[in-house]
Structure 1
Amino acid sequence: MTRPDGRQPDQLRPISFFPNVAPNATGSVLVSFGETRVICSATIEDDVPRWMRAQRVEGGWLTAEYSMLPYSTLERKQRDATRGKIDGRSMEIQRLIGRALRSVIDLKKIGQRTVWIDCDVLQADGGTRTASITGGCVAAAIAFNKLLAAGKIRDFPMKKLVAAVSAGVYQGTPVLDLDYVEDKDASVDFNVVMTETAEFVEVQGSGEEATFTGEEMSAMLELSRKGISDIVSLQKAAILTADRAAPADLSSLFATFGRK
Protein backbone atom coordinates (compact mmCIF):
# COMPACT_ATOMS: atom_id res chain seq x y z
CA MET A 1 0.00 0.00 0.00
CA THR A 2 1.36 3.42 -0.99
CA ARG A 3 0.30 6.41 1.07
CA PRO A 4 -0.62 9.60 -0.84
CA ASP A 5 2.53 11.42 0.29
CA GLY A 6 4.81 8.39 -0.10
CA ARG A 7 5.33 7.71 3.61
CA GLN A 8 5.67 4.25 5.12
CA PRO A 9 2.75 3.09 7.33
CA ASP A 10 4.76 3.74 10.52
CA GLN A 11 6.24 7.07 9.41
CA LEU A 12 5.35 10.43 10.94
CA ARG A 13 5.03 13.57 8.88
CA PRO A 14 7.92 16.04 9.29
CA ILE A 15 7.49 17.65 12.72
CA SER A 16 8.93 21.01 13.76
CA PHE A 17 8.78 23.17 16.88
CA PHE A 18 9.61 26.90 16.74
CA PRO A 19 9.55 28.40 20.27
CA ASN A 20 8.90 31.98 21.36
CA VAL A 21 6.53 32.97 18.55
CA ALA A 22 4.19 34.90 20.88
CA PRO A 23 6.32 37.31 22.97
CA ASN A 24 3.43 38.34 25.25
CA ALA A 25 2.76 34.75 26.33
CA THR A 26 4.78 33.14 29.11
CA GLY A 27 5.60 30.26 26.79
CA SER A 28 4.79 29.65 23.15
CA VAL A 29 5.62 27.45 20.19
CA LEU A 30 4.61 27.08 16.57
CA VAL A 31 4.24 23.36 15.94
CA SER A 32 3.92 21.78 12.52
CA PHE A 33 2.91 18.23 11.67
CA GLY A 34 3.46 18.28 7.93
CA GLU A 35 1.14 20.98 6.59
CA THR A 36 -0.81 21.23 9.86
CA ARG A 37 0.41 24.27 11.81
CA VAL A 38 -0.73 25.41 15.22
CA ILE A 39 0.44 28.23 17.49
CA CYS A 40 0.29 27.02 21.09
CA SER A 41 0.80 29.46 23.94
CA ALA A 42 0.79 29.25 27.73
CA THR A 43 -0.17 32.36 29.67
CA ILE A 44 0.03 32.46 33.46
CA GLU A 45 -2.60 34.40 35.39
CA ASP A 46 -2.09 35.08 39.12
CA ASP A 47 -5.58 34.00 40.05
CA VAL A 48 -7.73 30.87 40.13
CA PRO A 49 -11.32 30.22 39.03
CA ARG A 50 -14.05 31.34 41.40
CA TRP A 51 -15.11 27.77 42.13
CA MET A 52 -11.62 26.94 43.41
CA ARG A 53 -11.66 29.90 45.78
CA ALA A 54 -15.18 29.04 46.96
CA GLN A 55 -14.24 25.42 47.64
CA ARG A 56 -10.80 26.38 49.02
CA VAL A 57 -9.06 24.01 46.61
CA GLU A 58 -5.29 24.03 46.95
CA GLY A 59 -2.98 24.95 44.11
CA GLY A 60 -3.87 26.25 40.69
CA TRP A 61 -5.69 25.31 37.52
CA LEU A 62 -5.02 24.70 33.84
CA THR A 63 -7.54 25.22 31.09
CA ALA A 64 -7.36 25.31 27.31
CA GLU A 65 -8.96 27.11 24.40
CA TYR A 66 -8.83 25.88 20.80
CA SER A 67 -9.81 27.61 17.61
CA MET A 68 -9.35 27.20 13.89
CA LEU A 69 -8.66 30.50 12.18
CA PRO A 70 -10.99 31.30 9.27
CA TYR A 71 -8.26 30.74 6.66
CA SER A 72 -6.98 27.47 8.17
CA THR A 73 -9.19 25.35 5.90
CA LEU A 74 -9.82 25.25 2.16
CA GLU A 75 -13.22 26.87 2.65
CA ARG A 76 -13.34 29.82 5.06
CA LYS A 77 -14.38 28.75 8.55
CA GLN A 78 -16.70 31.13 10.34
CA ARG A 79 -15.38 32.48 13.63
CA ASP A 80 -17.09 31.28 16.81
CA ALA A 81 -17.52 34.94 17.84
CA THR A 82 -19.55 35.56 14.69
CA ARG A 83 -21.73 32.53 15.36
CA GLY A 84 -22.22 33.59 18.97
CA LYS A 85 -21.10 30.28 20.46
CA ILE A 86 -18.26 27.76 20.38
CA ASP A 87 -19.02 24.87 18.05
CA GLY A 88 -19.25 21.39 19.57
CA ARG A 89 -16.06 20.14 17.95
CA SER A 90 -13.96 23.01 19.29
CA MET A 91 -15.41 22.57 22.77
CA GLU A 92 -14.64 18.85 22.73
CA ILE A 93 -11.06 19.44 21.55
CA GLN A 94 -10.24 22.14 24.08
CA ARG A 95 -11.54 19.93 26.88
CA LEU A 96 -9.32 17.13 25.58
CA ILE A 97 -6.28 19.43 25.57
CA GLY A 98 -6.99 20.49 29.14
CA ARG A 99 -7.46 16.91 30.37
CA ALA A 100 -4.29 15.75 28.65
CA LEU A 101 -2.10 18.46 30.19
CA ARG A 102 -3.64 18.30 33.66
CA SER A 103 -2.84 14.58 33.73
CA VAL A 104 0.90 15.31 33.84
CA ILE A 105 1.01 18.52 35.92
CA ASP A 106 1.05 18.79 39.71
CA LEU A 107 -1.27 21.78 40.01
CA LYS A 108 -0.43 22.25 43.69
CA LYS A 109 3.10 23.26 42.69
CA ILE A 110 2.01 26.25 40.60
CA GLY A 111 0.37 28.05 43.50
CA GLN A 112 -2.79 30.13 43.16
CA ARG A 113 -2.41 30.57 39.43
CA THR A 114 -4.26 29.63 36.25
CA VAL A 115 -2.42 28.38 33.18
CA TRP A 116 -4.23 29.29 29.97
CA ILE A 117 -3.28 27.10 27.00
CA ASP A 118 -4.37 28.71 23.73
CA CYS A 119 -4.15 26.67 20.54
CA ASP A 120 -4.81 28.53 17.31
CA VAL A 121 -4.80 26.53 14.10
CA LEU A 122 -3.13 28.42 11.25
CA GLN A 123 -3.46 25.62 8.72
CA ALA A 124 -5.35 22.35 9.01
CA ASP A 125 -4.26 19.22 7.19
CA GLY A 126 -5.35 16.56 9.65
CA GLY A 127 -4.37 16.02 13.28
CA THR A 128 -5.02 19.51 14.64
CA ARG A 129 -6.08 18.19 18.06
CA THR A 130 -3.04 15.97 18.41
CA ALA A 131 -0.71 18.78 17.30
CA SER A 132 -2.40 21.09 19.83
CA ILE A 133 -1.83 18.70 22.73
CA THR A 134 1.77 18.11 21.67
CA GLY A 135 2.52 21.81 21.21
CA GLY A 136 0.54 22.80 24.29
CA CYS A 137 2.78 20.57 26.40
CA VAL A 138 5.90 22.29 25.01
CA ALA A 139 4.44 25.77 25.60
CA ALA A 140 3.51 24.86 29.19
CA ALA A 141 6.99 23.46 29.91
CA ILE A 142 8.62 26.64 28.55
CA ALA A 143 6.31 28.74 30.75
CA PHE A 144 7.10 26.70 33.87
CA ASN A 145 10.82 27.03 33.22
CA LYS A 146 10.39 30.81 33.13
CA LEU A 147 8.45 30.79 36.41
CA LEU A 148 11.13 28.62 37.98
CA ALA A 149 13.94 30.88 36.75
CA ALA A 150 12.11 33.92 38.14
CA GLY A 151 11.70 32.27 41.54
CA LYS A 152 7.90 32.31 41.31
CA ILE A 153 7.64 28.55 41.83
CA ARG A 154 9.96 26.28 43.79
CA ASP A 155 9.62 23.02 41.83
CA PHE A 156 9.01 22.17 38.20
CA PRO A 157 5.35 21.09 38.20
CA MET A 158 5.31 18.93 35.07
CA LYS A 159 5.76 15.30 36.10
CA LYS A 160 6.37 14.07 32.56
CA LEU A 161 5.74 15.10 28.99
CA VAL A 162 2.58 14.22 27.13
CA ALA A 163 2.05 14.01 23.38
CA ALA A 164 -0.60 12.85 20.95
CA VAL A 165 -0.81 11.39 17.48
CA SER A 166 -3.41 9.97 15.15
CA ALA A 167 -3.56 6.49 13.67
CA GLY A 168 -6.07 4.80 11.43
CA VAL A 169 -6.87 2.13 8.91
CA TYR A 170 -6.37 3.46 5.39
CA GLN A 171 -6.99 1.19 2.40
CA GLY A 172 -6.97 -1.79 4.72
CA THR A 173 -3.63 -0.96 6.37
CA PRO A 174 -3.01 0.52 9.84
CA VAL A 175 -1.07 3.79 9.41
CA LEU A 176 0.37 6.49 11.65
CA ASP A 177 -0.27 10.26 11.68
CA LEU A 178 -2.98 10.71 9.06
CA ASP A 179 -3.10 13.83 6.93
CA TYR A 180 -6.41 15.20 5.65
CA VAL A 181 -6.51 13.08 2.48
CA GLU A 182 -6.05 9.90 4.51
CA ASP A 183 -8.29 11.00 7.35
CA LYS A 184 -11.32 11.67 5.15
CA ASP A 185 -11.03 8.25 3.48
CA ALA A 186 -9.91 6.17 6.49
CA SER A 187 -12.21 3.37 7.58
CA VAL A 188 -11.00 3.71 11.18
CA ASP A 189 -9.74 6.82 12.94
CA PHE A 190 -7.88 6.91 16.29
CA ASN A 191 -6.40 9.73 18.37
CA VAL A 192 -4.01 8.54 21.04
CA VAL A 193 -2.65 10.61 23.95
CA MET A 194 0.30 9.13 25.86
CA THR A 195 2.97 10.20 28.31
CA GLU A 196 6.68 9.97 27.62
CA THR A 197 6.72 6.75 29.67
CA ALA A 198 4.15 5.15 27.34
CA GLU A 199 1.17 5.44 29.67
CA PHE A 200 -2.18 6.10 28.04
CA VAL A 201 -3.99 9.31 28.90
CA GLU A 202 -6.83 9.02 26.43
CA VAL A 203 -7.75 6.99 23.37
CA GLN A 204 -10.45 8.16 20.98
CA GLY A 205 -11.31 5.75 18.20
CA SER A 206 -14.16 4.74 15.96
CA GLY A 207 -14.97 3.07 12.70
CA GLU A 208 -16.22 5.33 9.93
CA GLU A 209 -19.23 3.29 8.84
CA ALA A 210 -16.96 0.30 9.36
CA THR A 211 -15.73 -2.08 12.04
CA PHE A 212 -12.20 -2.97 13.11
CA THR A 213 -10.59 -6.01 14.65
CA GLY A 214 -8.62 -6.43 17.84
CA GLU A 215 -5.51 -6.99 15.73
CA GLU A 216 -6.05 -3.70 13.88
CA MET A 217 -6.59 -1.86 17.15
CA SER A 218 -3.41 -3.34 18.61
CA ALA A 219 -1.51 -2.34 15.48
CA MET A 220 -2.79 1.25 15.67
CA LEU A 221 -1.88 1.52 19.36
CA GLU A 222 1.61 0.17 18.69
CA LEU A 223 2.09 2.61 15.82
CA SER A 224 0.98 5.41 18.15
CA ARG A 225 3.37 4.30 20.90
CA LYS A 226 6.27 4.33 18.46
CA GLY A 227 5.26 7.70 17.01
CA ILE A 228 4.84 9.35 20.41
CA SER A 229 8.27 8.11 21.49
CA ASP A 230 9.76 9.93 18.50
CA ILE A 231 7.64 13.04 19.12
CA VAL A 232 8.72 13.25 22.77
CA SER A 233 12.37 13.39 21.70
CA LEU A 234 11.54 16.43 19.55
CA GLN A 235 9.56 18.02 22.39
CA LYS A 236 12.52 17.68 24.76
CA ALA A 237 14.88 19.30 22.27
CA ALA A 238 12.48 22.22 21.75
CA ILE A 239 12.07 22.80 25.49
CA LEU A 240 15.81 22.65 26.15
CA THR A 241 16.62 25.19 23.45
CA ALA A 242 13.71 27.58 24.11
CA ASP A 243 15.39 29.51 26.93
CA ARG A 244 18.35 30.25 24.66
CA ALA A 245 16.29 31.07 21.59
CA ALA A 246 15.49 34.63 20.63
CA PRO A 247 11.90 35.55 19.75
CA ALA A 248 11.10 33.77 16.51
CA ASP A 249 11.60 35.62 13.25
CA LEU A 250 8.26 34.91 11.62
CA SER A 251 9.48 35.82 8.14
CA SER A 252 12.17 33.13 8.37
CA LEU A 253 9.65 30.65 9.74
CA PHE A 254 7.29 31.09 6.82
CA ALA A 255 10.21 30.90 4.40
CA THR A 256 11.07 27.57 6.01
CA PHE A 257 7.47 26.38 5.63
CA GLY A 258 7.48 27.39 2.01
CA ARG A 259 10.33 24.98 1.31
CA LYS A 260 8.44 21.97 2.63
Structure 2
Amino acid sequence: MRTDGRLADALRPVVIEMGVNRHAEGSCIVSFGHTRVLCTATVEERVPPFLRNTGKGWVTAEYAMLPRSTHSRSQREVAKGRQSGRTMEIQRLIGRSLRAVTLLDHLGERQIVVDCDVLQADGGTRTASITGAYVALHEALQKLVMKGDLKRLPLREPVAAVSCGLVKGEALLDLDYSEDNGAEADANFVLTRSGKIVEMQVTAEEAPLEPAQIQALQRLAESGVTRLVERQLVALAEAGFA
Protein backbone atom coordinates (compact mmCIF):
# COMPACT_ATOMS: atom_id res chain seq x y z
CA MET A 1 0.00 0.00 0.00
CA ARG A 2 1.35 3.43 -0.97
CA THR A 3 1.54 6.23 1.56
CA ASP A 4 -1.61 7.88 0.16
CA GLY A 5 -3.44 4.65 -0.68
CA ARG A 6 -2.99 4.90 -4.45
CA LEU A 7 -2.59 1.93 -6.75
CA ALA A 8 0.82 1.43 -8.35
CA ASP A 9 -0.35 2.88 -11.70
CA ALA A 10 -2.32 5.81 -10.26
CA LEU A 11 -1.43 9.47 -10.61
CA ARG A 12 -1.79 11.83 -7.70
CA PRO A 13 -4.78 14.18 -8.06
CA VAL A 14 -3.88 16.46 -11.00
CA VAL A 15 -5.38 19.95 -11.20
CA ILE A 16 -4.58 22.59 -13.83
CA GLU A 17 -5.93 26.05 -12.97
CA MET A 18 -5.81 28.46 -15.91
CA GLY A 19 -5.66 32.25 -16.01
CA VAL A 20 -3.88 32.75 -12.70
CA ASN A 21 -1.78 35.71 -13.89
CA ARG A 22 -3.62 38.54 -15.64
CA HIS A 23 -0.39 40.03 -17.02
CA ALA A 24 1.17 36.93 -18.61
CA GLU A 25 0.23 35.81 -22.12
CA GLY A 26 -0.20 32.29 -20.74
CA SER A 27 -0.45 31.04 -17.18
CA CYS A 28 -1.57 28.18 -14.97
CA ILE A 29 -0.97 26.57 -11.62
CA VAL A 30 -0.47 22.84 -11.99
CA SER A 31 -0.83 20.52 -9.01
CA PHE A 32 0.37 16.93 -8.78
CA GLY A 33 -0.97 16.14 -5.32
CA HIS A 34 0.81 18.47 -2.90
CA THR A 35 3.33 19.62 -5.53
CA ARG A 36 2.20 22.96 -6.95
CA VAL A 37 3.95 24.95 -9.68
CA LEU A 38 3.09 28.36 -11.13
CA CYS A 39 3.81 28.46 -14.87
CA THR A 40 3.74 31.74 -16.83
CA ALA A 41 4.53 32.29 -20.50
CA THR A 42 5.81 35.63 -21.80
CA VAL A 43 5.94 36.62 -25.47
CA GLU A 44 8.95 38.75 -26.41
CA GLU A 45 9.29 40.33 -29.85
CA ARG A 46 12.97 39.48 -30.06
CA VAL A 47 15.18 36.42 -30.24
CA PRO A 48 18.64 35.51 -28.91
CA PRO A 49 21.52 36.93 -30.96
CA PHE A 50 22.27 33.61 -32.68
CA LEU A 51 18.77 33.64 -34.25
CA ARG A 52 18.61 37.24 -35.46
CA ASN A 53 17.70 37.61 -39.13
CA THR A 54 16.95 33.89 -39.46
CA GLY A 55 13.16 34.15 -39.34
CA LYS A 56 13.11 31.55 -36.56
CA GLY A 57 11.76 31.87 -33.05
CA TRP A 58 12.84 30.42 -29.74
CA VAL A 59 11.27 28.88 -26.64
CA THR A 60 13.14 28.81 -23.35
CA ALA A 61 12.37 28.29 -19.67
CA GLU A 62 13.43 29.33 -16.20
CA TYR A 63 12.82 27.31 -13.03
CA ALA A 64 12.97 28.20 -9.36
CA MET A 65 11.99 26.80 -5.98
CA LEU A 66 10.42 29.42 -3.73
CA PRO A 67 12.06 29.70 -0.28
CA ARG A 68 9.27 27.90 1.63
CA SER A 69 8.33 25.39 -1.06
CA THR A 70 9.96 22.74 1.16
CA HIS A 71 9.88 21.85 4.87
CA SER A 72 12.49 24.44 5.79
CA ARG A 73 13.29 27.78 4.21
CA SER A 74 15.95 27.75 1.52
CA GLN A 75 17.86 30.87 0.52
CA ARG A 76 16.92 32.39 -2.83
CA GLU A 77 19.53 31.56 -5.44
CA VAL A 78 19.68 35.20 -6.51
CA ALA A 79 20.91 36.00 -2.99
CA LYS A 80 23.64 33.37 -3.40
CA GLY A 81 24.73 34.99 -6.64
CA ARG A 82 24.45 31.87 -8.77
CA GLN A 83 22.06 29.11 -9.76
CA SER A 84 22.56 25.58 -8.52
CA GLY A 85 23.42 22.80 -10.94
CA ARG A 86 20.01 21.24 -10.25
CA THR A 87 18.19 24.44 -11.21
CA MET A 88 20.12 24.78 -14.46
CA GLU A 89 19.55 21.12 -15.32
CA ILE A 90 15.79 21.34 -14.76
CA GLN A 91 15.21 24.60 -16.64
CA ARG A 92 17.20 23.28 -19.60
CA LEU A 93 15.06 20.14 -19.54
CA ILE A 94 11.87 22.20 -19.55
CA GLY A 95 13.12 24.31 -22.45
CA ARG A 96 14.17 21.26 -24.49
CA SER A 97 10.82 19.62 -23.87
CA LEU A 98 8.88 22.64 -25.12
CA ARG A 99 11.10 23.20 -28.16
CA ALA A 100 10.68 19.55 -29.15
CA VAL A 101 6.99 20.17 -29.87
CA THR A 102 7.22 23.75 -31.17
CA LEU A 103 7.58 24.63 -34.86
CA LEU A 104 10.23 27.30 -34.35
CA ASP A 105 10.31 28.10 -38.09
CA HIS A 106 6.64 29.15 -37.86
CA LEU A 107 7.03 31.30 -34.76
CA GLY A 108 8.64 34.28 -36.45
CA GLU A 109 11.46 36.16 -34.77
CA ARG A 110 9.93 36.12 -31.31
CA GLN A 111 10.80 34.32 -28.12
CA ILE A 112 8.51 32.66 -25.58
CA VAL A 113 9.91 32.50 -22.05
CA VAL A 114 8.13 30.12 -19.68
CA ASP A 115 8.80 30.64 -15.97
CA CYS A 116 8.15 27.70 -13.64
CA ASP A 117 8.10 28.64 -9.96
CA VAL A 118 7.59 25.86 -7.44
CA LEU A 119 5.13 27.05 -4.80
CA GLN A 120 5.10 23.77 -2.87
CA ALA A 121 7.24 20.68 -3.39
CA ASP A 122 6.34 17.07 -2.66
CA GLY A 123 8.26 15.25 -5.38
CA GLY A 124 7.98 15.55 -9.16
CA THR A 125 8.55 19.29 -9.46
CA ARG A 126 10.28 18.97 -12.86
CA THR A 127 7.57 16.75 -14.31
CA ALA A 128 4.79 19.01 -13.02
CA SER A 129 6.68 22.01 -14.42
CA ILE A 130 6.89 20.51 -17.92
CA THR A 131 3.22 19.53 -17.87
CA GLY A 132 2.11 23.01 -16.79
CA ALA A 133 4.64 24.80 -18.99
CA TYR A 134 3.11 23.24 -22.10
CA VAL A 135 -0.32 24.56 -21.10
CA ALA A 136 1.02 28.09 -20.54
CA LEU A 137 2.92 27.96 -23.85
CA HIS A 138 -0.14 26.71 -25.74
CA GLU A 139 -2.27 29.55 -24.35
CA ALA A 140 0.31 32.19 -25.27
CA LEU A 141 0.66 30.87 -28.83
CA GLN A 142 -3.10 30.51 -29.26
CA LYS A 143 -3.50 34.17 -28.31
CA LEU A 144 -1.01 35.11 -31.05
CA VAL A 145 -3.15 33.16 -33.52
CA MET A 146 -6.31 34.90 -32.28
CA LYS A 147 -4.64 38.30 -32.73
CA GLY A 148 -3.60 37.40 -36.27
CA ASP A 149 0.12 37.53 -35.45
CA LEU A 150 0.45 33.84 -36.37
CA LYS A 151 -1.41 32.03 -39.15
CA ARG A 152 -1.73 28.82 -37.20
CA LEU A 153 -0.73 27.27 -33.91
CA PRO A 154 2.98 26.35 -34.24
CA LEU A 155 2.80 23.21 -32.08
CA ARG A 156 3.31 19.64 -33.22
CA GLU A 157 1.43 18.01 -30.34
CA PRO A 158 1.13 18.21 -26.55
CA VAL A 159 3.98 17.14 -24.30
CA ALA A 160 3.83 16.13 -20.63
CA ALA A 161 6.07 14.44 -18.09
CA VAL A 162 5.75 12.05 -15.17
CA SER A 163 8.03 10.30 -12.71
CA CYS A 164 8.24 6.58 -12.00
CA GLY A 165 10.31 4.48 -9.66
CA LEU A 166 11.02 1.16 -8.05
CA VAL A 167 10.04 1.14 -4.39
CA LYS A 168 10.56 -2.12 -2.50
CA GLY A 169 10.84 -3.83 -5.86
CA GLU A 170 7.52 -2.52 -7.19
CA ALA A 171 7.19 -0.15 -10.16
CA LEU A 172 5.20 2.92 -9.10
CA LEU A 173 3.86 5.90 -11.05
CA ASP A 174 4.16 9.56 -10.04
CA LEU A 175 6.24 9.33 -6.87
CA ASP A 176 5.70 11.73 -4.01
CA TYR A 177 8.67 12.86 -1.92
CA SER A 178 8.56 10.04 0.61
CA GLU A 179 8.45 7.42 -2.14
CA ASP A 180 11.17 9.08 -4.20
CA ASN A 181 13.38 9.40 -1.13
CA GLY A 182 13.30 5.64 -0.55
CA ALA A 183 13.29 4.43 -4.15
CA GLU A 184 15.76 1.85 -5.41
CA ALA A 185 15.50 3.51 -8.83
CA ASP A 186 13.80 6.61 -10.10
CA ALA A 187 12.96 7.87 -13.57
CA ASN A 188 11.47 10.86 -15.33
CA PHE A 189 9.82 10.44 -18.72
CA VAL A 190 8.97 13.33 -21.07
CA LEU A 191 6.61 12.05 -23.75
CA THR A 192 4.39 13.50 -26.44
CA ARG A 193 0.71 12.80 -26.91
CA SER A 194 1.51 10.19 -29.58
CA GLY A 195 3.99 8.44 -27.29
CA LYS A 196 7.21 9.79 -28.81
CA ILE A 197 10.09 10.12 -26.35
CA VAL A 198 11.53 13.58 -25.74
CA GLU A 199 13.70 12.57 -22.81
CA MET A 200 14.20 9.66 -20.40
CA GLN A 201 16.11 10.04 -17.14
CA VAL A 202 16.55 6.68 -15.39
CA THR A 203 18.83 6.23 -12.39
CA ALA A 204 19.55 3.14 -10.30
CA GLU A 205 20.11 4.12 -6.68
CA GLU A 206 21.14 0.61 -5.61
CA ALA A 207 21.66 -2.38 -7.91
CA PRO A 208 21.83 -1.91 -11.72
CA LEU A 209 18.50 -2.18 -13.50
CA GLU A 210 17.40 -4.98 -15.77
CA PRO A 211 16.05 -3.93 -19.20
CA ALA A 212 12.68 -5.42 -18.23
CA GLN A 213 12.48 -3.09 -15.22
CA ILE A 214 13.09 -0.04 -17.39
CA GLN A 215 10.43 -1.25 -19.82
CA ALA A 216 7.96 -1.61 -16.94
CA LEU A 217 8.67 1.96 -15.85
CA GLN A 218 8.22 3.20 -19.40
CA ARG A 219 4.83 1.48 -19.71
CA LEU A 220 3.71 3.16 -16.51
CA ALA A 221 4.93 6.52 -17.81
CA GLU A 222 3.12 6.10 -21.13
CA SER A 223 -0.13 5.43 -19.29
CA GLY A 224 0.41 8.41 -16.99
CA VAL A 225 1.27 10.85 -19.76
CA THR A 226 -1.82 9.84 -21.73
CA ARG A 227 -3.95 10.89 -18.74
CA LEU A 228 -1.93 14.06 -18.17
CA VAL A 229 -2.42 15.15 -21.78
CA GLU A 230 -6.16 14.61 -21.39
CA ARG A 231 -6.12 16.97 -18.42
CA GLN A 232 -4.07 19.52 -20.37
CA LEU A 233 -6.53 19.50 -23.25
CA VAL A 234 -9.56 19.75 -20.97
CA ALA A 235 -8.05 22.72 -19.12
CA LEU A 236 -7.25 24.50 -22.39
CA ALA A 237 -10.68 23.77 -23.87
CA GLU A 238 -12.50 25.02 -20.77
CA ALA A 239 -10.49 28.25 -20.94
CA GLY A 240 -11.24 28.69 -24.66
CA PHE A 241 -7.76 27.86 -25.97
CA ALA A 242 -8.27 24.41 -27.49
Question: Fold conserved (TM > 0.5)?
Answer: yes
Q: How many Å separate the matches in 2 of 1:45 and 1:243?
A: 23
Partner of 1:6, secondary structure, is: coil
One of 70, 82, 85 as aligned partner of 2:82: 85
Partner of 1:16, secondary structure, is: strand
Q: How many Å separate the matches in 2 of 1:82 and 1:44?
A: 27
Where do residues 160-199 of structure 1 align in structure 2 (5 Å cutoff)?
Answer: 160-199=157-196
Q: How many Å separate the matches in 2 of 1:27 and 1:121?
A: 17
Number of paired residues? Answer: 241
Alpha-carbon deviation of 1:37?
A: 0.1
Q: How many Å separate the matches in 2 of 1:129 and 1:228?
A: 14
Partner of 1:224, secondary structure, is: helix
Q: How many Å separate the matches in 2 of 1:57 and 1:178?
A: 42
Where do residues 71-220 of structure 1 align in structure 2 (5 Å cutoff)?
Answer: 71-220=68-217
Extract structure 1 runs of 4+ deviating beyond 3 A: none
Give 2:50's aligned residue: 51
TM-score (norm: length of structure 2): 0.98
Identical-residue share of aligned pairs (%): 48
Q: How many Å separate the matches in 1 of 2:73 and 2:54?
A: 42
Q: How many Å separate the matches in 1 of 2:66 and 2:240?
A: 28
Deviations 1:120-179 (A, max 9, x none): 000000000000000000000011111111111111001100000000001110000000
Alpha-carbon deviation of 1:57?
A: 2.7
Alpha-carbon deviation of 1:77?
A: 1.4
Give 1:14's aligned residue: 13
Give 2:221's aligned residue: 224
AA at the equivalent of 2:50:
W
Partner of 1:231, secondary structure, is: helix
**Unmatched 5+ stretches in structure 2:** none
Deviations 1:85-108 (A, max 9, x none): 011000000000000000000012
**Unmatched 5+ stretches in structure 1:** 245-260
Deviations 1:5-43 (A, max 9, x none): 111000000000000111111000000000000001110
Give 2:37's aligned residue: 38
Q: How many Å separate the matches in 1 of 2:112 and 2:27?
A: 12
Q: How many Å separate the matches in 1 of 2:107 and 2:50?
A: 17
TM-score (norm: length of structure 1): 0.91
Aligned-residue CA RMSD (Å): 0.9
For the 8 Å contact 1:142–1:242, the answer to whether it is kept is no
